Amino acid sequence: MQDSGHNDRLPAPQETWRTAFLHSLRQTANITKSAYAAGMTRQAVYDAMDRDGLFAAQVHDALEGLTDHMEASVYERGLTKSDTLALAWLRAKRPQEWGDKRTVEHNTTLNIHAVRELRQTFTVEELRALRDQTTEPESSQDGE
């Protein structure tokens, strides 16, 4: 008889399938494949994780270990073989220096009372002249 899918398999005893699942997960980094290798469905694994915090922590730990291993592999390849990986590493670890986008934060507090006082002291034309004096473009310093 040909296997028609995940539902044809009988679940293994809890500890046996969990051990098999975690072993496969550490090899494949894939929950669906690992569940199938352990005789379970993907949903059964997620249900078990919801019910059992220790099992959920073991799954998380296995995936984090794989991520650490992948990170080390990418780092080594970036050092020796791939400028693209080296740049990807730097962008991930130091986005402020190597990221594609820069974020500029500007925080200005406007005191409405100070604005009213300025308007009472100076005319609009005087305020505009003052603004223009303090915001001269830097390009005018090229020897004119």
pLDDT in tens, 5-15: 454 555 446 67
- pLDDT at position 110 is 66
Q: Is 103 within the bounds of a domain?
A: no
Q: Is 105 within the bounds of a domain?
A: no
Is residue 134's pLDDT more than 70?
A: yes
How far apart CA 63 and CA 27 sit, in angstroms, is 10
Q: What value does the mean pLDDT of the chain take?
A: 79
How does residue 62 score in pLDDT terms, banded at 50, 70 and 90?
Answer: very high
Tell me how long the chain is.
144
CB neighbours (10 Å) of residue 45? Answer: 23
Helix ranges (DSSP H) in the chain:
14-28, 31-37, 42-51, 53-80, 83-93, 95-98, 112-121, 124-134
102 vs 140, which has greater pLDDT? 102
Is residue 18's pLDDT more than 50?
A: yes
66 vs 90, which has greater pLDDT? 66
Q: Is 143 within the bounds of a domain?
A: no
Domain that holds residue 86: 6-98
Number of domains within the chain: 1
CA distances for 136 relative to 80, 132, 139, 141, angstroms = 49, 6, 9, 9
Q: Is 134 within the bounds of a domain?
A: no
Most confident among 70-79, 109-118, 135-144 (mean pLDDT): 70-79
Q: Is 21 within the bounds of a domain?
A: yes
Q: Is 39 within the bounds of a domain?
A: yes
